[in-house]
């Protein structure tokens, strides 16, 4: 006979009527103490909602330390994906928040967010290092696509907003430039719609290939030629299943 055991403890998340809509969660070691902390973003409303940093005491008890970590309480409209990676090359995790805004016609979009590590115990809001855009960022993924030893980002815009998918090319310090001309035309124009993506080395040549999960089309893998330019990349079609691809993980 199999028994299930549950242990519950106070999580540290605000428990009131204004804070009841977590949209995305990411785990990372915020304060460098070797345990896992939590970054939570809220959504689903036509107005901005707060993001929270929950710090682990090492025993599984969490406390909301957003102001001490970030200096203020940032907000988002409807964050859809949180990417954890080292964007400023300081050896510590940073955060990119893909925010698609209020999920209703006319889909006005929202500004994505970037939080860069400022040391052992904090982050700075570096959203100004992203190109300004109110886009419908449905998903995102990160990798060093061009082999220059810094982390770039694919932003999977999708739907009725006029801004299409694009790449964010890192200058090495965590400042990004938007690029669409490195993507295949079918991707950059949403001729084929994709709802999720992941970078992985599909052909074993050591660089990051782009795997796009299809919504109304088959999924596709674009093989990186080594310089991060996927515009004429070799395409591998992945058989389409009975349902759209909602999410993917590279193992």
- 3-state SS, 220-246, equals EEECCCCCCCCCCCCEEEECCCCCCCC
Residue 57 confidence (pLDDT): 94
> For residue 98, is it within any domain?
yes
- Per DSSP, helices labelled H in 1-136 are 66-70
> For residue 38, is it within any domain?
no
Residue 136 confidence (pLDDT): 92
> For residue 78, is it within any domain?
yes
Strands 122-125 and 37-42: unpaired
Average the pLDDT over 142-146 and give the result: 98
Mean pLDDT for the chain overall: 88
Domain that holds residue 182: 69-238
Average the pLDDT over 34-59 and give the result: 92
Residue 17 has pLDDT above 60, yes or no: no
How many other C-beta atoms can be found within 10 angstroms of the C-beta atom of residue 208?
24
* CATH code at position 187: 2.130.10.130
> For residue 3, is it within any domain?
no
Residue 223 has pLDDT above 80, yes or no: yes
Query: Structurally, how many domains does the chain consist of?
Result: 1
Instruction: Give the pLDDT band (50/70/90) at residue 119.
Output: confident
CA-CA-CA-CA torsion sign (194, 199, 202, 207): positive
Residue 208 confidence (pLDDT): 98
Residue 7 has pLDDT above 80, yes or no: no
Instruction: Give the pLDDT band (50/70/90) at residue 248.
Output: low
Residue 217 confidence (pLDDT): 74
> For residue 16, is it within any domain?
no
> For residue 201, is it within any domain?
yes
Residue 93 confidence (pLDDT): 96
> For residue 23, is it within any domain?
no
162 vs 156, more confident: 156
121 vs 237, more confident: 237
2 vs 144, more confident: 144
Average the pLDDT over 145-168 and give the result: 93
Residue 238 confidence (pLDDT): 87
Average the pLDDT over 70-97 and give the result: 95
Helices (H) and strands (E) in the chain, counts: 2, 17
> For residue 132, is it within any domain?
yes
Residue 10 has pLDDT above 60, yes or no: no
Residue 250 confidence (pLDDT): 62
């Amino acid at each position: 006979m199999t028994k299930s055991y549950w242990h519950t403890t106070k999580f540290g998340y605000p428990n009131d009527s204004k804070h009841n809509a977590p949209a995305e969660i990411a785990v990372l070691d915020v304060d460098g103490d070797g345990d896992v902390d939590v970054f939570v973003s809220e959504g689903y409303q036509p107005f901005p909602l707060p993001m929270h940093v929950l710090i682990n005491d090492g025993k599984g008890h969490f406390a909301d330390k957003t102001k001490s970590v970030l200096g203020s309480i940032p907000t988002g409209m409807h964050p859809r994906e949180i990417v954890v990676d080292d964007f400023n090359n300081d050896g510590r995790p940073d955060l990119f928040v893909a925010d698609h805004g209020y999920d209703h016609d006319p889909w006005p979009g929202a500004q994505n967010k970037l939080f860069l590590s400022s040391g052992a115990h904090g982050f700075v809001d570096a959203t100004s290092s992203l190109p300004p855009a109110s886009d419908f960022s449905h998903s995102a993924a990160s990798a060093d696509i061009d082999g220059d030893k810094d982390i770039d980002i694919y932003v999977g815009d999708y739907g009725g907003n006029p801004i299409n998918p694009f790449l964010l090319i890192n200058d090495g310090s965590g400042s990004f430039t938007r690029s669409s001309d490195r993507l295949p035309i079918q991707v950059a124009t949403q001729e084929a719609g994709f709802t999720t993506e992941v970078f992985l080395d599909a052909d074993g040549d050591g660089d990051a290939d782009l795997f796009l999960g299809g919504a109304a089309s088959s999924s596709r893998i674009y093989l990186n030629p080594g310089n991060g330019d996927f515009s004429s990349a070799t395409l591998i079609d992945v058989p389409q299943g009975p349902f759209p691809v909602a999410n993917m993980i590279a193992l």
